[in-house]
């Protein structure tokens, strides 16, 4: 597994590549969400590579080792989808299986909706289709209370680091690797760049959503997710024109980290079907 850089769409994107220059392997694109980076997919990269895939896991612009971005509009979904397609173009990859978690799932939905020829099969972890999310009722709106604070410039930047990132460590919302997240987000400008994903996309997606997707799609939801309801994932079938499959697991929000073997198994089942 190598970490490489690619200049595309005006930014330097850093990405993990399990098989550089191996054009014979079918490609898989793994997309992380907030507040993670490409390393969250390490277990799945190993499993998919062993099964014969070339696995690409980019750091989203502003995150990880990709170029720091400063403006809210830099983090718009259209820009990130363009980054992903530009990465595939630079590597001469016509299409890939795509899986995303959290905001990475939103970007995966967006890529499948806006660039259908680039996505062979789709896996969305935790976050359903944006239209299913916005129509998921009052319980989902109540669970998204934290996002309101994230939308206020400067507020989350002051609150999240308090008490050695207590909110990221606390109770049933706790992140499995809080120290790694703290180290990433403590670098100048990185927390704001990460939060700009919310500020650039949440209002727009709430108003306009996304078109339906054509790809065969697997939606994976964990019953202990403090931020999301099962309904917003289950109802995503209404916005999938390909075959739809729903899997529900126990456990919390960060499934790729807390249940790596099961997530790897589900990805392999779906991509090889």
Measured CA to CA, the distance from residue 30 to residue 273 in angstroms comes to 18
Per-position pLDDT tens, the chain of length 273: 899 999 999 999 999 999 998 999 999 999 999 999 999 999 999 999 999 999 999 999 999 999 999 999 999 999 999 999 999 999 999 999 999 999 999 999 999 999 999 999 999 999 999 999 999 999 999 999 888 889 998 999 999 999 888 888 886 678 999 999 999 999 999 999 999 999 999 888 877 889 999 999 999 999 999 999 999 999 999 999 999 999 999 999 999 999 999 999 999 999 998
Cis before 35? omega within 30: yes
Cβ burial, residue 188 (10 Å; 0-12/13-18/19+): exposed
């Amino acid at each position: 597994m190598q970490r490489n850089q690619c200049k595309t769409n005006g930014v330097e994107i850093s990405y993990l590549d399990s098989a550089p220059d191996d054009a014979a392997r079918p490609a898989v694109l793994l997309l992380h969400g907030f507040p993670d980076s490409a390393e969250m997919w390490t277990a799945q990269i190993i499993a998919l590579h062993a099964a014969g895939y070339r696995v690409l896991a980019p750091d989203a612009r502003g995150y990880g080792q990709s170029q720091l971005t400063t403006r809210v509009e830099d983090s718009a979904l259209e820009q990130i989808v363009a980054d992903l397609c530009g990465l595939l173009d630079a590597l001469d990859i016509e299409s890939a299986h795509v899986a995303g978690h959290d905001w990475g799932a939103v970007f995966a939905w967006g890529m499948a909706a806006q660039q259908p020829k680039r996505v062979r099969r789709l896996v969305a972890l935790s976050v359903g289709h944006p239209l299913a999310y916005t129509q998921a009722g009052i319980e989902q709106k109540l669970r998204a209370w934290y996002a309101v604070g994230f939308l206020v410039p400067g507020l989350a930047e002051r609150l999240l680091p308090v008490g050695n990132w207590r909110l990221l460590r606390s109770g049933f919302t706790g992140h499995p690797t809080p120290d790694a997240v703290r180290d990433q987000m403590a670098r100048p400008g990185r927390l704001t760049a990460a939060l700009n994903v919310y500020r650039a996309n949440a209002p727009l997606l709430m108003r306009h959503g996304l078109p339906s997707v054509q790809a065969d799609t697997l939606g994976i939801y964990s019953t202990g997710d403090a931020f999301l309801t099962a309904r917003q994932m289950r109802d995503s079938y209404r916005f999938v024109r390909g075959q739809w499959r729903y899997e529900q697991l126990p456990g919390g929000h960060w499934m790729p980290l807390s249940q790596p073997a099961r997530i790897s198994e589900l990805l392999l089942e779906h991509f090889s079907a």
